[in-house]
Every structure is written in C-alpha cells, then in structure tokens.
Structure 1
Amino acid sequence: MTRVEQLRDLETAKQVAALLEAENARLHQRLEALVAENARLKGEDAQARLQLELEGLKEQLALLQKRLFGASSEKRGDRPPKPPRAKPQRGHGPTAQPELKVQEVLLPLDEADRVCGLCGSGLRTWEGQTEDCEEITVVERSFVLRRVRRQKYRCQQGCAPVTAPAPPRLIPGGRYSLEFAVYVALMKYGFHLPLARQERLYGREGLGVEAQTLWDQLDTLAGHLQKSYEALLAEVFSSPLIHADETYWLLLDKGPGTKWYAWTVASPDTVFHRILPSRSAATARAILGDYEGVVLVDGYAAYQTATKSGADGPAPATLAFCWAHVRRKFFEAKQFAPACEEVLRLIGQLYAIEADLPGWYALTGEERQAALAQRLAVRQQQSVPVAERIRQWALAQRAAPGSAFRKALEYMLKLWDGLSVYLSNPVVPIDNNHVERQMRDMVMGRKNHYGSKSKRGTEVAALFYSLIETARLRGEDPGHYLRRAALAAIENPGTVMLPKSQA
C-alpha cells in the first residue's frame, strides 16, 4: 500500500484525498452509531457522550492542521515590547570579514585615456594615490591532480638505492587524498549534500567521479576514525549529567525503506549517535548501560521502563524530565483551554529564573563549586515556590477526558518527580533542548538524503555526525579535526584522538 508521504503526482494526491474524505465521513457515521450503542448499554446520555467524542476529534484535527500548516514557533505574544532605540539605526554597515584572504587589484587607465581632459597634456602616475573600495567575490574551487615524485638516491659505494618516504595515504595505492575524503564527509554530514549531488557538482567543476567512489572514501575514512568514535561514549558517560533522545531514520535497502531509529546521548560538550532498528525499552536500556548519573529525557516511556528498579536492585540512573515538553503540550492545548495561559505564565517564570543563573560545565575547582552553590540556592528560594504553584494549579483543574488540556495535565503530573529533579540538583538544566539541537544535523540530513542504503551506511552516518557535532561543541573546526584524527590513525592504527576543547 502506498503511503501518503510517498505521493509525488498532484492528481493522484487529489484522488487519494477525496477517498480519504469519503472514508472519514463513513467512519464519522459509524462512530455516532457505536457511541450511541455504547452509551445505551452503559446507561449514559448518548448525545452527551457523542458530543464529547466529537470535541476530542475536532481538537485532534486542529492540532494536526497546526502541525502541518502552522508556524513551528511556540513563542507567545505577551512579551514586553523592546525599548525604542536612542537613535534610529540607518543600515548595519559592512560586516567585517577577518577570515577572508585579501586580493589587491590595481586598475590603471588605458594608454589612450591618459590625456588630461582640460588641457590635453599627458597624465603621469601619481605614486601611492588610489581611490579604494572593497567587494566580496568568489573564486571557483578547483580540483588538482597532484603528481607526487619521490626522489631516489644511490650510494656512491654501490649499495641499495634509497627513496624518499611516501606521504600517508587514505587508501594504500588509492588515488584520492585524505583531504578530499574529509571534504566529502563534511559536505554530506556537515552540510547535508548527498553523494549523487556531489557527483554532479564536481563534474561541473572538471572532476569526473562516481558517487560509489565518493562512498568508498567515506567508508575508509570512517574505518580510520572508528576508535575515536567509540571513545566518545566513555566521554559522554564521564559527565554527571547526560541528555538522551531519539528520532527515526530510514534504512533504504528495500522498497520505501525500513524505519530505524537514531539514538543520541550527549553531555554538555560531547555527542554520541547510534542508529539501531528498534525504539524499544530494551534498546534504551542497552544505550544507557550502567550509567549512574542523571539522564534528562522527554516523557517517552521506554526510558522509564529501562531505568526501573528490578530484582537485582535499584536502577543505577536517575531520570529527570524536560519542562520544554510540558510547556509544548500546554501551548498546543491553549487554543481549546484558555486556562493554560496561567500555567504558561508560571513556566515562563521558571525559565526567567534560569536565564540569570551562571553556567557550570566550563568552570573548574572552586569556581565550579561556587556556581553550583548559587544555582542550587536560587532554585530553592525562587523556583521551588513557583513549581509548587504550578502543581497546585494542575490539581485544581478539571478537563474533559481525552482533551488536549486533560492530556497535558496528566503528562505533567505523571512526570512530576522527574520534573522536580532539577530543583535539587544544580547540574541539571530545566529542559532537554541541548540534545535536540545536536540532532538537527541528522534531521536535516534525513530530509536531504532520506536515510542510509545499508547497515554500514547507518554506522558511517552515526560516526560522522557524532564527531562533527562534538568538534563544533568544543569549538574546533570539524574539518581540521577530522584530518588531524585520521592522519594520526593512518600513521598509528588504533590511535584515539578527540576534538580539543577551546574553553
């Protein structure tokens, strides 16, 4: 059966939409009959029950339409206006470009024009005097066939000749350099350009290369970086706090593809992705392993199942839950339940308190301890009372079963213990937005090249996304890092080299 998201022909899509509309009307009539029969058997008011069911369906339809066609921003329109500028700003001026190379171009007059327009005498060059301006231009990239000639030497006494050593090669005897492979990796996993598009682009620039050849370079480069990638997980788990999240990923080996899942764990300066075929609690348990710190997650039940205490003792990890997900649910319910404005205002107060707190991860020693102490003290004094007001407000609300408002209330109250962890643990942030930001590249890549064509493709994708995003988090240029780490591994196989922190 063809799925709606796979349709590309407009007329076919219209026919499918008409069929779905007719099916929706039929199901609506069937729902009325079933609800009436169910209410009769239970001795309930059939009309009231039907109205409740229809209201729930209207809410679901409105939320679906907003997600499909509405703005993705969750900003509210009640923020205070910005103060007016003291002086009106006229343009922003040229942006400084300290990283660009400067190319000096001197424009002389043609010989025929070197005549004074007033007296007709000849013009002489005025040394050191020019009228200058700047412009930013583009110099087309060029691929170079570098012919390496290794000098040979012979002994004056007739011993064996000596040849200058060969430079490190990505593939022994291969034709493409390490720098080329790093560039291809950055284009695909850093800037979301599929290999087929790279093939066409490079062909336009004079380099004839097939997408399969580009993949061979990526596969080999990933092999050299494998040990560094594996070391990232230990780096993540060395933090007292980690973030975890997951999103779908397609394995395009058969037909439209099989849905796999990209699982991500991240500390404040390290990211580790892994793409696996399941989204189960068992997979979540395998991802988290024996980690004993705080795991900040959304409300997905697999994490709760994976960290439950069992017969072998208490769970090693402590779950903390994300306030941004709570806010999102009340924001969606606001159009049906105006009472949500109150809780959104109170959650906004929690975020305002967090905005003034110092960071802690980049600090060390006494500075870190002082920052953590301040975070804890402010949260206990200011955030705890606000959180308690939110809880009391939620307990006092009444909402129709199945409504968006009811679901938002139940979601928050069910996760309340985990939502309160950050109030007593100063290393825990208020939300899980950090890991969602680190998953954006994977989501953008998924939209551009749809997924991976093989299981090995999922492994290579997870490796490069992890290393590139960790380098960015730590302030090192990803291209410089990949070349540095791969060169070390080529010269000494098994070498582990992680991005340098610039903090």
Structure 2
Amino acid sequence: MGRVEELRDLETAKQVARLLEAENERLHQRLLALVQENARLKGQEAQAQLQLELTHLKEQLVLMQQRLFGASSEKRGEKPPKVERVRPQRGHGPRAQPELKVQEVLLPLDEADQVCGLCGNGLHPWEGQTEDSEEVTVVERCFVLRQLKRQKYRCTQGCAPVTAPTPPRLIPGGRYSVEFAIHVALMKYGFHLPLARQERLYAREGLAVEAQTLWDQLEALARHLQKSYEALLAEVFTSPLIHADETHWFLLDKGPGTKWYAWTVASPDTVYHRILPSRSGATARTVLGDYKGLVLVDGYAAYQTATKAGADGPAPATLAFCWAHVRRKFFEAQKFAPACQQVLQLIAELYGIEKDLPDWSALSGEARQAALAHRLAVRQQHSAPVVQRIQQWALSQRAMPGSAFRKALEYMLHLWSGLTVFLSHPVVPLDNNHVERQLRDMVLGRKNHYGSKSQRGTEVAALFYSLIETARLRGEEPGRYLRRAALAAIESPGTVTLPTRQD
C-alpha cells in the first residue's frame, strides 16, 4: 500500500480508509486484552488505562479521515467578520476586455439582398452608418517556420560586403526562437503542462517536436537567466521580514525516485525557491544564510535549529511563528474538546483587528513609517490583551496526554515567544500564508509532472518558478518579463534583469 499523501484517486482513498478503520478495530480488541493482562500482572486498574489508550486511537482515526476527506480548516468553522465592500457586479452583462486586440469586421449585405423591399430599387451603402455589436472569438495559435533572409550589401567602391545581423539566438545555430522557449517555459512552470503533453498538443497543431527538444530550449533559456535568478535571493534578503517554508519534491532519476525538498524564502514582492536533498536544520541554515532580520515560519524544528544562538555568537535572525498553524491544531482538536471553540474565537478576534490595518509593504518613505507606527499602536492597544487572554486560557486547561487537544496546547505554548513577536514588530503579519501561496504553483506542478528527472531539472524548475512568481507578485506579465530578461542576457551575458514593480 502506498503512502496516504501520495493517493490521488478518491475511490482508492476510500478503500484505504475502510481498511485502516478495520485495522484500528482489530487493534482496539488486541489492546484491550494486552492492557488488561498488563494491569493484572502489575496490579493496576485496567479500565482507566484502557480508556486512555482507546480515546487516543479514536482521535487518530478521526483526524486521519478528516485529512483524507474533510475540507481545509481554513475554509470551515467560525471566521472573522468580513468588511462589506462594494464590488462590481459579476456574472451579468458584458465585461470589459481591455487586454484583447480589437478587430473590426464590416458585414455587408449579399448582392442579391441589396434591393429595397418597398420600391424594388437598388440599395447603396450609407457611408459611415453601421449598427455595432461585439463578440469574443478565438484565433487558433499558429506555429510558423520563418525563413530568415539576411540582406547583403556591397560597397560601390568594391570594399568588403556587409550582411544584416542575425536576430538574438537562444542557442548558437539553433532552430527555435527565444519566444518559443519562453512559451514552453510558461506552459510548464506557469500552467503546469508537462513536456510530454506539450509534445502531443503541438503535434495536433502541425509542429513535430520531441519532449527532449523542448527540454533543451528550457535548459538553454535557464542558463541565460541564471544571474537574474541568483539576484532574487539578495533581493529577498533586503526586506526587514521574510517568510520561509518547504514542501517535498521528487527526483525521478532512479526507480520510483527519491524525496527532495523545495525550500522557499519570500519577501512581500519577491520569491526565491531552491530544491535540495535534505530537510535538516543544516539545510535550513544554508537556506537562511546570514539573514539578520525577522523570519516568519511554521513550527518545524529545523528553523529553530538554524537560528539557535551558539558559541560563535547570537542568533542571526529572529523567528516569528504562524497563528494560522496554531488555529489549525485547535480546529482539529475541537471535535474532541469543545473548549477549543473559545480559543478559536479569540484567534478570530486577532484576525478581525488585523483586517483594518494598512499594508506597509505597498508603501515607502514617510507613508510606510506612518503605517508601521499605526500598526504597532493598534496591536499594543487591542491585540496584546487578546493574546494575554489566549495564554491565560491555555495555562488553565487540562488535557489527556497524547490527545489532539494536549498536542495543540503544547504546540502553541512551545512556540509562544515567536507567536507574540508581531506585537512588537509591526512588519510581521499574523500568519505565513504568503509563502504558502507562493508554493502553490510548485505543488500543482509536482502533481502534474511528478517532479524532476535530474538534478539539473530541479535547478531549472526552481529558477522558472522563482522568476515567474516574482513577476506576478510585482504585476509584470511573466512572458513579457522573461523575454526582456533573456534578450538582455543574450546581448550582454551575465546581465541581471529583475521584474519591474508596477504601480
């Protein structure tokens, strides 16, 4: 049986759940006999110990079923009240299409119909008079084999002839244009279409090309963009706050492949991915480097190891922890501990306070400083008392060892110092959802093409995901940006071109 997180078919997942439930029942019975025998030998009360173990097993079963079939905790339960906003009407009437090219089509009468139905005389066009409407249509994509004829010139005095220059080439002497390689990159890393599917799609449209040839274009394009990709990390580290997270990625070079990990660091408008073979604290230290600002993360211990003070000095970075992860723990535990509803409501109050605070990252200069000062004042006045109530509530609770409720309490209290960092640092948001959104494309890509076939494939994937997502964050169309950066690097190797921040 495969691992649960690798199951993609719903019916298979249901069968696995039924098997697990049956196995759980068998273990209940076995546990009952063992606990009673153990208690008899030790002279202990069997029933209390048995109930503890059975309750723990039942919690695990319910949580497993919820993770398999339930909705995300971010989409259920009580949510902070939303601000009423006036939005344009959707779903009725035509929508403006400012990005579409406009094509005017004049529709004349057939020659046989150009006769007046009243008097029988001929009809003539009424110049400048039309009845107008519009429709959205599609013009099929067309691959073209361009034959490039470079004009030659000769001097009237018999000097050496001159030939018009060749357009920029992705690969010297190559047959495919820069624009073609960018299109393939966007299809794979922007829209998650594997190269094998692109090969079949293009064949339907008249282009005979192999997946290996498509990969060759991606690899060549990535070499030209390497310096721009490397510059993203320094760009991320200029921010006073960064987000960090990781997810698994498969390297498919041998057999079923080996599990690698996509590590991501992100500032509000820049993303940098790396795919590495380990998820250890040493790897986290490599990813964070010598960054000395605030790092918002989940509770994974590798980040705490990476930023721990040592013999060589104090911790280089300050960790802040994610309230969304705390909320998820209590949301799962509320099935067994109704007391969790109280802390969920308090966390909702924190989010309610945050929703009206200005976004500092979109501002600069005095406007940014004023926004940060306002965020700090509101949090100290309104958020701090709520956080204190959450701590008092947690310390007053009693939970059964090993239960989901106990684990949620321990998770929160263990991370408490980092969960309260946002009260004194106004740049820190409540949660790490920003970087989780930036990992979403990699997760979708992993689902569609399963991973990378080589280590070079992991490097190319990290590069394109980073550049495409950064362009989107900054408001520049990714294809336009990649073309601009690639042409600059071909003309002058090593040129760094980053996406432009759009106002």
TM-score by structure 2 length? 0.93
**Structure 1 segment 240-279 matched on structure 2, within 5 A:** 240-279=240-279
1:299, CA displacement in angstroms? 0.4
User: Which amino acid is 2:357 matched to?
Assistant: L
Name the structure 1 match of 2:202. Answer: 202
Aligned residue-pair number: 501
Alignment pair present for 1:61 and 2:57 = no
Q: Secondary structure at the match of 2:157?
A: coil
- 1:322-348 CA distances to partner (integer Å, 9 max, x unpaired)? 001111111111222211111111111
Show the 5 A alignment for 1:385-396.
Answer: 385-396=385-396
* Aligned positions of 1:327-406 closer than 5 A: 327-406=327-406
Partner of 1:218: 218
C-alpha contact 2:307 2:316 (8 A) present in aligned 1: yes
Alpha-carbon distance in 1 for matches of 2:32, 2:307: 42
Alpha-carbon offset, residue 134 of structure 1: 1.5
**After superposition, where does 1:63-462 map in structure 2 within 5 Å?**
63-72=63-72, 74-76=74-76, 78=78, 92-462=92-462
Contact 1:170 1:176 in 2 (8 A): yes
- 1:329 partner amino acid: K
Question: Which residue is 1:48 aligned to?
Answer: 48
In structure 2, C-alpha distance between the alignment counterparts of 1:83 and 1:435, rounded to whole Å = 24
Structure 1 pair 287/34, CA: closer, same or farther in 2 (3 Å)?
farther
Of 90-99 and 55-64, deviating more is 90-99
* CA deviation profile, 1:73-129 (whole Å, cap 9, x unmatched): 53455569999999xx89632110011111112222222223344444433333333
Instruction: Give the aligned residue type for 2:386.
Output: V
Change (3 A) 1:278 1:79: closer
How many Å separate the matches in 1 of 2:378 and 2:9?
57
Distance 2:293 2:84 in 1: 46
For the 8 Å contact 1:74–1:331, the answer to whether it is kept is no
- How far did 1:317 drift? 0.8
Q: Distance in 1 between matches of 2:359 and 2:45?
A: 57
Change (3 A) 1:83 1:442: closer
Cα distance change, pair 444–220 in 1 and its aligned pair in 2 (3 A) = same
Q: Aligned AA for 1:247?
A: T
Deviation at 1:171, TM superposition (A): 0.3
Letter aligned with residue 50 of structure 1? L
Q: Which amino acid aligns with 2:317?
A: A
- 2:80–2:351 Cα contact (<8 Å) kept: no
Cα RMSD (Å)? 2.6
Question: Cα distance, 1:476 vs. partner?
Answer: 1.0
Determine helix, strand or coil for the equivalent of 2:361. Answer: coil
After TM superposition, give the deviation of residue 183 of structure 1 in Å.
Answer: 0.7
Measured at CA, do residues 245 and 44 of structure 1 come closer, stay the same or move farther in structure 2, by a change above 3 Å?
A: farther
Q: 1:83 to 1:433 in 2, by over 3 A?
A: closer
Pairwise CA distance, 1:267: 0.8
1: CA distance, partners of 2:365 / 2:84: 42
Q: C-alpha separation between the residues in 2 aligned to 1:6 and 1:491?
A: 45
Distance 1:14 1:74, change over 3 A: closer
| Higher mean C-alpha deviation, range 62-71 or range 280-289 | 62-71
Q: After the TM superposition, which of the residue ranges 57-66 and 284-293 deviates more from structure 2? A: 57-66
- Within 1, Cα distance between the matches of 2:363 and 2:80? 33
2:467 & 2:189 partners in 1: Cα distance?
A: 10
1:384 to partner: Cα distance: 0.4
For residue 430 of structure 1, report the CA deviation from its aligned partner.
Answer: 1.0
Q: Relative to 1, partners in 2 of residues 1:181 and 1:90: Cα closer, same or farther, differing over 3 Å?
A: closer
1:34-71 deviations in Å (ceiling 9; x for gaps)? 33345456654322222222222222221221222122
Question: Deviations 1:109-165 (Å, cap 9, x if unpaired)?
Answer: 222223344444433333333332211110001011111111112233333222112
**Greater Cα offset, 9-18 or 376-385:** 9-18
Task: Give the TM-score, by structure 1 length.
Answer: 0.93
Report what 1:499 is aligned to: 499
**Closer/same/farther in 2, CA of residues 196 and 313 from structure 1, 3 Å limit:** same
Please state how far the C-alpha of 1:17 moved relative to its aligned partner: 7.4
Q: Name the CA distance, whole Å, in 2 between partners of 1:178 and 1:261.
A: 30
Show CA shifts across 1:273-313 (max 9, x none): 00011111111111111111111000001111111111222
Letter in 1 for 2:322: C
**Secondary structure at the counterpart of residue 292 of structure 1:** coil
Q: 1:10 to 1:228 in 2, by over 3 A?
A: closer
- Unpaired runs of 5+ residues, structure 1, are none
1:471–1:499 contact (8 Å) kept in structure 2: yes
On the 8 A contact 2:224/2:490 being kept in 1, the answer is yes
Which one is further off, 173-182 or 393-402? Answer: 393-402
Instruction: Tell me the secondary structure at the aligned position of residue 295 of structure 1.
Output: strand
Query: Cα–Cα, structure 1 residues 312 and 34, in superposed 2: closer, same or farther, change >3 Å?
Result: farther
- Give the distance between the partners of 1:14 and 1:462, measured in 2 at CA: 34
Q: Cα 1:135–1:121, aligned 2, differ >3 Å: closer, same or farther?
A: same
Q: Is the 8 A contact 2:13 2:68 kept in 1?
A: no
> How far is 1:194 from its partner?
0.6
**Which letter maps to 1:185?**
A
